[in-house]
Structure 1
Amino acid sequence: MDQKECIQKIHTAIHRAVHPDPPDPDFFQPTSVMALFAFNEGVELIFIQKADVEGYPWRNQMAFPGGHVDEQDTSTQATALRELEEEMGICSQDVKVMGSLGHFQTINNKDIEAFTGVWNQKGKITFDPAEISRVIPISLAYLTRVHREKGYAGRRPDIMELTYPYEDVLIWGVTAKILHHLIEVIIPKNK
């Protein structure tokens, strides 16, 4: 399958799926992230590893780029695109947004609306090392294999169980919840 067909397949799956609804806005602070696809030798998802800074609440954690909704943002999608540019130097015109994966909550009362997009890979990723230690593209085929080998397919694992190891890092917490939902949406159940 070529890149265009793959993008269309993912786009269709995202739009046909049922995604988690938003919670009561009185109890959660709105944030958004971008699960960003890139195409190299295969389909990859781009993750960031937060900086190794003493006292930083997300120290060394794996995440999708994103952040809090600001007053000037016209939507949570605009927030995800603004944060993508601020955190990684990827301009919104270089991203084709495919849609929302719905809402995911953290234990510290953040409501994260997760968006999906495809980066055309124009320009170069740049980031502030005070906030991000590195950018890690991970093969979707690898993540799907882990998903199946750990027995996550077709069920929603407990948050303590739900982890995706990769080399020297571990995807866990709300990022793992978003990744789990994304894989469940785009990967055929019978494969």
Structure 2
Amino acid sequence: MAAAGAAPVVQLPEVPGAREAAVLVLFGVLDGLPSDHEARTAAVSRDLDVLLLARAATLRSHPGQIAFPGGRVDPGDHDPVAAALREAEEETGLDPTGVEVLGTLAPLPLEYSRHLVTPVIGWWRQPSAVRVVDVAESAAVFRAPVADLLDPAQRGVTVLRRGGQEWRGPAFLVPHSTGEHLVWGFTAMLLDGLFTRLGWTEPWDESREIPIVA
């Protein structure tokens, strides 16, 4: 078992000429069944959740992956915060006036899609209904209990091999009414880093590999 906070280190390369993008990492109080897992930290209640979506399988970029609401910063957006809220409304139908923005994290480069992504952290002060707005963009919109993500039994590592190179990163299995969702790649890396920074990470088996189902 690895010590808490000793998650796999993923080195992200610089991406010259990357386009600005933003994602909304939105925490709230779960509107469904709470987690069965009791987190080790009192800061995480069983009904604390985070908003996620499953990208449509037909998309060219990251098809089928679990992601945060978000997208490119458009010319009409005042800043990445405005972009994240606009994209979240367009993708999930949430009411952005009910979101309290807590701050932003340092932008992260995504070499594959050539974006520089600013994570926007928010609290769902007044939750509103969410849904799949455009089936061409999203296959599902759901709220995942944070305690489920912290559960060591739901954690592992994904291994992606391309062109003779190997990419290893943290992964989460999220129970859902339609079956388990595998959170990996950029979204898992961001969640893993955020949980570690907040001191929420629980010891988990970093030798456990979770296959990526294409």
Give the TM-score taking structure 2 as reference length: 0.67
For residue 51 of structure 1, report the CA deviation from its aligned partner. 1.1
**RMSD value, Cα:** 2.6
User: CA 1:80 to 1:72, structure 2 compared with 1: closer, same or farther past 3 Å?
Assistant: same
Give secondary structure in 1 for the equivalent of 2:121: strand
Partner of 1:99: 103
User: CA 1:93 to 1:106, structure 2 compared with 1: closer, same or farther past 3 Å?
Assistant: same
Instruction: Please identify the structure whose Cα radius of gyration is greater.
Output: 2
- Unaligned segments of structure 1, at least 5 residues: 1-22, 152-157
Partner of 1:164: 172
CA deviation string 1:99-154 (max 9, x = no partner): 11222221222111001111235432132122111112111111122399659xxx
In structure 2, what is the Cα distance between the partners aligned to 1:77 and 1:182?
18
Q: How does 1:151-190 map to 2 (within 5 A)?
A: 159-167=167-175, 168-188=180-200
Is residue 33–residue 113 contact of structure 1 (8 Å, CA) maintained in 2? yes
Give secondary structure in 2 for the equivalent of 1:48: strand
Is residue 104–residue 121 contact of structure 2 (8 Å, CA) maintained in 1? yes
Question: Which region of structure 1 is more displaced relative to structure 2, 40-49 or 30-39?
Answer: 40-49
Partner of 2:21: 31
Partner of 2:147: 141
Matched-pair identity in %: 27
Give the TM-score taking structure 1 as reference length: 0.74
- Establish whether residue 112 from structure 1 lines up as the match of residue 124 from structure 2: no
Partner of 1:56: 60
Name the count of aligned residue pairs. Answer: 162
For residue 24 of structure 1, report the CA deviation from its aligned partner. 7.1
Is residue 147–residue 180 contact of structure 1 (8 Å, CA) maintained in 2? no
Candidates 123, 130, 145, aligned match of 1:125: 130
For residue 37 of structure 1, report the CA deviation from its aligned partner. 0.9
Partner of 1:7: none
Give every structure 1 segment of 4 or more consecutive aligned residues whose post-TM-superposition deviation is greater than 4 Å. 23-26, 147-151, 188-191
Candidates 80, 86, 89, aligned match of 2:84: 80
**2:48 is aligned with what amino acid?**
V
- Unaligned segments of structure 2, at least 5 residues: 1-12, 35-46, 158-165, 204-214
